[in-house]
Amino acid sequence: MFQVYLPIAEMALSAPLLIIIGGCIGFLSGFFGISGGFLLTPLLIFVGVPPAIAVGTQANQAVASACAGMLGHRRRRNVDFRLALYMLAGSAGGTLVGSWVFGWLQEIGQIDFIIALLYVTLLGSIGGIMLLESSRLLLRQRDNPAATPPIRRVPELLQKLPFKIIFPTSGLEISLLVPVLLGFFTGVTTVILGLGGSLLVPAMIYLLAMPTALVAGTSLFQVIFTSGAATALHAINHQNVDIVLALALMVGAVIGAQVGARFAGRIRPDLARWLLALILLGIAVKLFFDLTVPPDMPFSWEAVPS
């Protein structure tokens, strides 16, 4: 019912289905401050969209939900623009280095293996650490509701770095190298893995010790630019952005992102962290099984430009 033809993917899908998928991804994006690409890409492939087009279109959709979510957070003054701009400077460099590394891995022909390995180890270890930390905190609070969460500090090694400046919104005094390096790392992983903000969010919580309320909005501000750059690169180099598919997803995603941003302020931060940890770990476990369990259908086909 209500099929819509996707001119780049060259297939038809149900419009209501796409709006619902977009709504769910948008909610996660607004709530956690991630791009949601690592969930949306496999979902689109599952409903029959060619993998390359799923990747390109996902980036376009992420711009819309990040923009909607960021504006939702900004209304509550939960975006640290100054910090985000330093991270952006780093991620511009990271994107360039990342695409160079990507090309090199592609040349030696091991890109699939490296990506799979990085995904499982990064998501698995970060998700695991977060889950342990937040579970411990949740349990302690259940036993003693009056207990206040411990104050997180910037790791000592990072405190020793030179060029300290003040970020008033976040109440941080820290070396400008920290956000620049974080941005650089995010840029590299976004190009190679398409991980958007999902590594940046844990890094901002644990390495920058940012107030939790500011994390999602600031990360989303960053995602607008990194996913925007990814969209442009995909559209120009590979023509794999389906604007009709993106539009159908966006209709749901921008509403979901607004709702997600609204909910983010209402839930306890340690509970939110626990949920994000569960999602990251869940993806890592799924990818691990995809890699190690014999596939039902080991064959796949792709069109080759002649």
Residues that bind other proteins (CB under 8 A): 3-5, 7-8, 10-12, 48, 60-61, 63-72, 75, 112-113, 116, 224, 228, 231-232, 235-236, 239, 241, 243-244, 246-247, 250-251, 253-255, 257-258, 290-295, 297-306
| Residue closer to other proteins, measured from CB, 112 or 173 | 112
Dist. CA 275–CA 122, nearest whole Å: 17
| Residue closer to other proteins, measured from CB, 222 or 258 | 258
In this structure, the chain runs to a length of 306
| Residue closer to other proteins, measured from CB, 48 or 171 | 48
Place of tokens 């994390």: 215
Least distance in angstroms from the C-beta of 89 to other proteins: 20
Would you call 80 helix, strand, or coil by DSSP? coil
| Residue closer to other proteins, measured from CB, 4 or 96 | 4
Least distance in angstroms from the C-beta of 114 to other proteins: 10
Least distance in angstroms from the C-beta of 246 to other proteins: 7
Which residue type occupies 230? A
Write the DSSP assignment of 118-169 as a string of letters: HHHHHHHHHHHHHHHHHHHHHHHHHH-TTPPPPPP---HHHHT-SSEEEETT
**Torsion angle of the four alpha carbons 66, 72, 74, 76, in this order, in degrees rounded to the nearest 10:** -150
Least distance in angstroms from the C-beta of 77 to other proteins: 14
| Residue closer to other proteins, measured from CB, 209 or 244 | 244
Least distance in angstroms from the C-beta of 271 to other proteins: 24
Residues linked to residue 14 through DSSP beta bridges, in sequence order: 3
Longest CA–CA separation in the chain, Å: 67
